[in-house]
């Protein structure tokens, strides 16, 4: 017997409007999940900063746009940073609008990595769930996530076990992975293209190591992403021979997958504990093997020899040597891995199961069979 549809209020990232690129990988995750949940016949209300766009094919989703000042990202905060809520901040306004709709919903699902939504969860009657998008980047955020886990860990889900291991939790974490509309990614069998790198242009993403490895091989490196830190971008470019880096900018999924699919390998060089690694799966969906540091989420996604190769973190020489071996990877196997583990339907099904289980524990709804 088919489960009844859920009525969900989704609370977007407070860092920027959906479609702006400022929300990083959370934007892609949210867009994909909305599409997947719509495909599973759930009723959705999306609360997001002003200027946001509905995901493609989701015209039936109610979009409530909220004015306010973007929240600073915790990603660049020091470990001892304090909680900061700007004047006229969009974050509390997103919560306010979402709570106004909560009485007609089965649950609320928060995508914003911030202290306030976590803190407020035990103090409201409406069930509020959190898909945690980063590791413990600061002490105060780590403590907030752990405190909520002690109160009711069923309200928390993570993208990978490696991400969840940043936190001390009373039980094994709920890991839902991630997933994408794989029909939007065209498989390309070509093996002799340039090297690629994608992500926000910021120090924690480690672009300088990918550039150094490409330079050591005398190769060209195509770089996609929002140039969040111009000083850092200029320093990376000046450290390698002219022409090594070819800046491609922040592209739509359609344009990115077309160009990325022509690469012979994607290099992934995080300097921190990535929660997942969206672009790793995007590359695999195009048939592109991934050469990555064995750190954080990417280290959990890559099966060495099947869909890529793992390298000791921060070892540029080993990175260059592994790039030389990327032709050993079957590009069809990369695509097949993505289809088995990271499709939109697989991801949305895991999220649905997590929410249904949490609601059933509260006595609010029948658990998913």
Q: Is the pLDDT of residue 335 over 50?
A: yes
d(CA 230, CA 247): 12
- Is 354:333 a contact under the CB 8 Å cutoff? no
Torsion angle (degrees, nearest 10) of CA 308, 311, 317, 320: 10
How many C-beta neighbours within 10 Å does residue 65 have? Answer: 16
How many C-beta neighbours within 10 Å does residue 272 have? Answer: 15
- Is 7:98 a contact under the CB 8 Å cutoff? no
| pLDDT given for residue 365 in this prediction | 42
Confidence grade of residue 369 (pLDDT, cut at 50, 70, 90): very low
Q: Is the pLDDT of residue 368 over 80?
A: no
Torsion angle (degrees, nearest 10) of CA 160, 37, 226, 73: -60
Condensed to tens digits (0 to 9), the pLDDT of residues 219-245 reads 999 999 989 899 999 999 999 999 999
Residue 88: burial class (beta carbons within 10 Å; 0-12, 13-18, 19+): exposed
- 313-332: average pLDDT: 97
- 262-278: average pLDDT: 94
Q: Is the pLDDT of residue 1 over 80?
A: no
pTM reported for the whole predicted model = 0.90
Among 198, 212, 237, 214, CA closest to 323: 214
d(CA 291, CA 295): 12
Q: What mean pLDDT value characterizes the chain?
A: 94
Q: Is the pLDDT of residue 342 over 90?
A: yes
Q: Is the pLDDT of residue 76 over 90?
A: no
Confidence grade of residue 3 (pLDDT, cut at 50, 70, 90): low
- Which residue bears the tokens 């609360």? 47
- 340-362: average pLDDT: 94
Q: Which two tokens stand for residue 208?
A: 């300088």
| pLDDT given for residue 191 in this prediction | 82
Q: Is the pLDDT of residue 288 over 90?
A: yes
- Is 37:44 a contact under the CB 8 Å cutoff? yes
Q: Is the pLDDT of residue 158 over 70?
A: yes
According to DSSP, residue 4 is labeled P
Domain ranges of the chain: 7-179+343-361, 182-341
According to DSSP, residue 175 is labeled B
Q: What's the half-sphere exposure (Cβ side, CA atoms, 13 Å) at 352?
A: 26
Instruction: For the domain made up of 182-341, give the CATH fold.
Output: Rossmann fold (3.40.50)
Q: Is the pLDDT of residue 105 over 70?
A: yes
d(CA 202, CA 182): 27
- pLDDT higher for 352 or 251? 352
Rg (CA), the chain: 20
Number of H helices, E strands in the chain: 13, 12
d(CA 42, CA 217): 50
Instruction: For the domain made up of 7-179+343-361, give the CATH fold.
Output: Rossmann fold (3.40.50)
Confidence grade of residue 21 (pLDDT, cut at 50, 70, 90): confident
Decide whether 7-179+343-361 matches 182-341 in CATH topology.
Answer: yes
- Which residue bears the tokens 């993570």? 158
- Is 51:20 a contact under the CB 8 Å cutoff? yes
- 182-199: average pLDDT: 94
- 292-318: average pLDDT: 96
Cα first-last separation, the chain: 9
| pLDDT given for residue 273 in this prediction | 86
- Is 94:49 a contact under the CB 8 Å cutoff? yes
Confidence grade of residue 186 (pLDDT, cut at 50, 70, 90): very high
d(CA 11, CA 13): 7
Q: Determine which of 132-136, 144-148, 227-231, 364-368 has the lowest per-residue pLDDT on average.
A: 364-368
Q: Is the pLDDT of residue 299 over 70?
A: yes
Percent of the chain predicted with pLDDT > 90: 88
Confidence grade of residue 362 (pLDDT, cut at 50, 70, 90): low
């Amino acid at each position: 017997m088919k489960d009844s549809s859920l009525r969900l209020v989704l609370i977007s990232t407070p860092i920027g409007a959906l479609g702006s690129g400022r929300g990083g990988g959370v934007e892609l995750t949210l867009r994909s999940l909305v599409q997947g949940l719509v495909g599973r016949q759930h009723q959705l209300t999306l609360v997001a900063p002003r200027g946001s766009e509905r995901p493609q094919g989701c015209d039936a989703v109610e979009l409530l746009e909220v004015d306010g000042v973007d929240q600073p990202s915790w990603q660049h905060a020091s470990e001892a940073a304090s909680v900061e809520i700007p004047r006229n901040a969009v974050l509390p306004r997103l919560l306010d609008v979402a709570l106004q709709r909560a009485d007609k919903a089965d649950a609320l699902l928060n995508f914003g990595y911030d202290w306030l939504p976590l803190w407020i969860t035990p103090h409201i009657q409406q069930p509020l769930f959190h898909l945690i998008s980063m590791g413990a980047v600061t002490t105060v955020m780590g403590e907030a996530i752990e405190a909520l886990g002690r109160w009711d860990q069923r309200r928390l889900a993570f993208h990978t076990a490696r991400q969840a291991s940043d936190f001390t939790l009373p039980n094994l974490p709920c890991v839902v992975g991630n997933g994408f509309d794989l029909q939007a990614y065209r498989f390309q069998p070509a093996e002799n293209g340039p090297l690629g790198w994608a992500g926000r242009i910021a120090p924690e993403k480690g672009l300088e190591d990918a550039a150094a490895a490409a330079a050591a091989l005398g190769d060209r490196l195509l770089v996609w992403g929002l140039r969040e830190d111009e000083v850092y971008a200029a320093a990376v470019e000046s450290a390698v021979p002219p022409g090594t880096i070819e800046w491609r900018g922040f592209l739509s999924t359609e344009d990115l997958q077309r160009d990325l699919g022509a690469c012979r390998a994607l290099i992934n060089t995080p300097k921190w504990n990535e929660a997942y690694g969206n672009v790793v799966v995007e590359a695999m969906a195009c048939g592109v093997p991934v050469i990555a540091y064995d750190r954080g989420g990417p280290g959990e996604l890559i099966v060495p020899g099947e869909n890529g190769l793992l390298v000791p973190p921060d070892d540029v020489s080993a990175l260059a040597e592994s790039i030389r071996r990327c032709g050993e990877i079957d590009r069809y196997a990369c695509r097949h891995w993505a289809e088995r583990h990271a499709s939109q339907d697989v991801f949305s099904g895991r999220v649905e199961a997590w929410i249904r289980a949490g609601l059933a524990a509260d006595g609010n709804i029948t658990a998913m069979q």
